[in-house]
Amino acid sequence: MKESTLADLTSTEDSSLSKLVSLLADLSTLVQQRIPKELGYSGGVNVYGEKQLEIDVWSNELFTKKLLRSGLVRRVASEEMEDVAESKSGEYSVVLDPLDGSSNLKSNNLLGTIVGVYHDKSLPAKGRDLLAAMYFLYGPFLQLVLALKDGVRLSAAAGTGVGSRRFVSDGQIHKLPRPPTVYGIGGLRDKWTPTVRQFVEGLEKRKLSLRYGGSFVGDYNQVLARGGFFAYPELIDAPQGKYRLQFESNPLAFITEKAGGRASMGTGNILDVEPTSIVQRVPTYLGDPDLVQDFQTLYRSKGQAA
């Protein structure tokens, strides 16, 4: 089968979006090279009070500055920044988790960069308005999962080019495999609600294998590759869960729906959640459409509020 390049994958999109994807891919190769060199703590904390690694700060600055100076991006919101950063020109708004899973760096776990792209929307924005979403997975190989209007395609930085030109793909549309085979649920088990506990028992009765590594992109990617269910649910002591709607849940929900799955926050679709703030969190249940539908039905039957 002929290998496709990133340019091939984005050929049906506006050239400006193609340029933006290429820039992001260039930057991901810089992050991949930098990760092993930046294992120290920056001494800072982000707006959520989470300790920032030097690599968190470095990667946030890399993406934010390069995007705002590209002439393509008007505004950037990032998990690592309190406010939206703006430029004077550009047709896109970008939401970003520059290095998801960075607290797992010491254990050499999977890390990722999550990106959502809107066409000139103010931020925070509604997930349903996303134009594209993607994540870069820094694993045994650097992978790009790219969701555009016509679907999801997978590519790997495995070619002979430099930067974004390293990415090659089979160019095929990827759908969540069925039947589902793996699941992962975040949070401490003793903080799960009875509904989540009951649902997990059902998954185990269906012989789904547990896969949980503490990195959203890494854990989710196993569901995308093998079919299954992933959640960071509402917890007894955190009814909105942990994931940020703008930077984590919306982009992954967009990818999930484009891959033929469902993405719920309990009572409805994540992408339909009205944005109220940049830091808004949302319970997140993603993956196989039947499993997510089953969860949503169970959740509603328990009369739990959104």
Give least dist CB 102 to ligand AFP, A.
Answer: 5
Give least dist CB 230 to ligand AFP, A.
Answer: 9
For residue 230, state whether it binds ligand AFP (rule: CB under 6 A): no
For residue 216, state whether it binds ligand AFP (rule: CB under 6 A): yes
Give residues with Cβ within 8 angstroms of 95, minimum separation 6. 76, 77, 78, 115, 116, 118, 123, 124, 125, 246, 247, 250, 251
For residue 139, state whether it binds ligand AFP (rule: CB under 6 A): no
Size of the site for ligand AFP (CB under 6 A): 13
Q: How large is the greatest C-alpha to C-alpha distance in the chain, in angstroms?
A: 55
In the 3-class helix/strand/coil scheme, how is the chain assigned residue by residue? CCCEEHHHHCCCCCHHHHHHHHHHHHHHHHHHHHHHHCCCEEEEECCCCCEEEHHHHHHHHHHHHHHHCCCCEEEEEECCCCCCEECCCCCEEEEEEEEECHHHHHHCCCEEEEEEEEECCCCCCCHHHCCEEEEEEECCCEEEEEEECCEEEEEEECCCCCHHHHEEECCCCECCCCCCCEEEECCCHHHECHHHHHHHHHHHHCCCEECCCCCHHHHHHHHHHHCEEEEECCECCECCCCCEHHHHHHHHHHHHHHCCCEEECCCCEHHHCCCCCCCCECCEEEECHHHHHHHHHHHHHCCCCC
List the one residue from 98, 101, 251, 266 that touches ligand AFP (CB under 6 A): 101
For residue 251, state whether it binds ligand AFP (rule: CB under 6 A): no
Q: Which one, 38 or 100, has the nearer CB to ligand AFP? A: 100
For residue 222, state whether it binds ligand AFP (rule: CB under 6 A): no
Q: Which one, 87 or 104, has the nearer CB to ligand AFP? A: 104
Give least dist CB 215 to ligand AFP, A.
Answer: 5
Q: Which one, 167 or 230, has the nearer CB to ligand AFP? A: 230
Among positions 175-214, residues that touch ligand AFP (CB under 6 A) are: 186-187, 214
For residue 164, state whether it binds ligand AFP (rule: CB under 6 A): no
For residue 103, state whether it binds ligand AFP (rule: CB under 6 A): yes
List the one residue from 52, 64, 102, 296 that touches ligand AFP (CB under 6 A): 102
For residue 215, state whether it binds ligand AFP (rule: CB under 6 A): yes
Q: Which one, 72 or 144, has the nearer CB to ligand AFP? A: 144
Give least dist CB 101 to ligand AFP, A.
Answer: 4
Please identify, among the stretches 101-109, 125-133, 268-276, 286-294, the one whose residues bind ligand AFP according to the rule CB under 6 A. 101-109
Task: Output the six-digit token pair for 60.
Answer: 């946030």
List the one residue from 13, 50, 54, 290 that touches ligand AFP (CB under 6 A): 50
Residues that bind ligand AFP (CB under 6 A): 50, 100-104, 186-187, 214-216, 232, 242
